[in-house]
Amino acid sequence: MRIQLPILAASLALLAAPLASGHCQIPCGIYDDNNVIGQMHTDYLTIEKACKTIDELLEDPAANGHQITRWIMNKESHAQSLQEKVLNYFLAQRLKPDAEGYDEKLKLCHSIIVTAMQCKQSTDAANVKKLHDLLHQFEEAFGTKE
């Protein structure tokens, strides 16, 4: 009987533990959707500038090799940052299966992730434009009205 008593006590303690409610992985109350979306726009602007600058520097790659490398690394970093915000903030924490417009929002998240990947792979202005348009759709879908 003594062995069962600690198990019973532990079970009751688990049942009495308060549940954490919040959308964050660690409910901190710091983040807000508009702030994260603003950071995503900053990532986009950096990607756009990097693509334009890389194309300009490629006119004389021998003279601009180091700058080209730095801009490529910067472009990839911001594309990765944008993908991580969609994955780790919106998909993991904000998009709920029972939410209104779930399927459309899920498709939008996927499109942004894929388009950011395409921006990593080239400086194609069509990908940059598509990312711009997707981010505005994203802001309408996820942004909060103040």
For residues 51 and 123, the answer to whether their CB atoms sit within 8 Å is yes
For residues 142 and 33, the answer to whether their CB atoms sit within 8 Å is yes
Number of domains forming the structure of the chain: 1
The pLDDT value given to residue 33: 83
What is the extent of the structural domain holding 99? 30-142
The pLDDT value given to residue 11: 54
* Residue pLDDT, tens place only, 66-81: 999 999 999 999 999 9
* End-to-end Cα separation, the chain, in angstroms: 60
What b-and-e string marks burial along 115-144, b requiring 16 or more CB atoms within 10 Å of the CB? bbeebbeebeeebbebbeebbeebeeebee
**Which DSSP letter does residue 60 get?**
S
* Residue pLDDT, tens place only, 2-59: 556 555 555 555 455 444 444 556 566 666 788 899 999 999 999 999 999 999 999 9
The answer to whether position 78 is within a domain reads yes
The answer to whether position 41 is within a domain reads yes
Looking at residue 132, which CATH number applies to its domain?
1.20.120.400
The answer to whether position 81 is within a domain reads yes
